[in-house]
Amino acid sequence: MLRDLATVLIELQAAMHSVARSAVSAVRINEAQMTLPVDTALRFEGGGCTLLADVTRSHADAAWQTAPSRLVLAFAEVPTEDLP
Look at residue 4 in the predicted model and tell me its pLDDT: 92
Q: In Å, how far are 17, 23, 28, 81 from 41, measured between CA atoms?
A: 27, 35, 36, 38
Q: What is the pLDDT of residue 49?
A: 93
Handedness of CA 19, 17, 36, 61 (dihedral sign): positive
Rounded CA-CA distance 75/10 in Å is 12
Would you write out the chain's pLDDT as a tens digit for each of its 84 residues? 889 999 999 998 888 878 777 766 666 778 888 888 888 889 998 999 999 998 877 666 555 566 668 889 888 877 777 766
* pTM of structure: 0.67
Q: What is the pLDDT of residue 48?
A: 92
Residue ranges in the chain assigned as alpha helix (H): 5-22, 59-62
Instruction: Say what the pLDDT of residue 56 is.
Output: 78
